[in-house]
Amino acid sequence: MEETDKKRYILDQSNIEIEHVRSWPTKVMAFYVTINFGIMSAVIALQKLDPPIQLSYGVKTIITLIVFVLTFLMLYILCKSNKNYIIHRELQMDLQKKLFNDDERKEYRIPSFWFEKKECCNYIKYPGWLFYVCFVIIVTFLMVTGIFIIG
């Protein structure tokens, strides 16, 4: 295998990994919201029974702890995905710089920003990741508030 073929193979694998870590957070967040929706639906269903079943403070606390564990797990997955994205994106940029000289960049009209590294916090590289984190925190807040108000 030639050196260029190896670099192209690594670039292809890097592209696959980037697409994976970009799609992973939305899938995990959908699962997270579904779990929270299921828990809250069960709490509401218990209130609609005749006679309604009131949750004790201890049960509410246990449910809240479970929700917080899920929240921290979600935030961990988001941070890990973001870090993997940054690592593979930088690898991709380095390989693109090595594979394409200036003439090829002009010939194929490759945007210059494809080759620029952006200095930024490792945990929040782009606004989308911050949106994911805020979304998880808001869902958690609504869930815990709902448990103590409705339950």
Q: What per-residue confidence (pLDDT) applies to 143?
A: 92
Pair of tokens at residue 86:
């940054």
- Could you report the average pLDDT of every consecutive run of 10 residues in the chain (151 residues)? 75 81 85 93 89 90 95 89 81 78 77 68 62 90 90 71
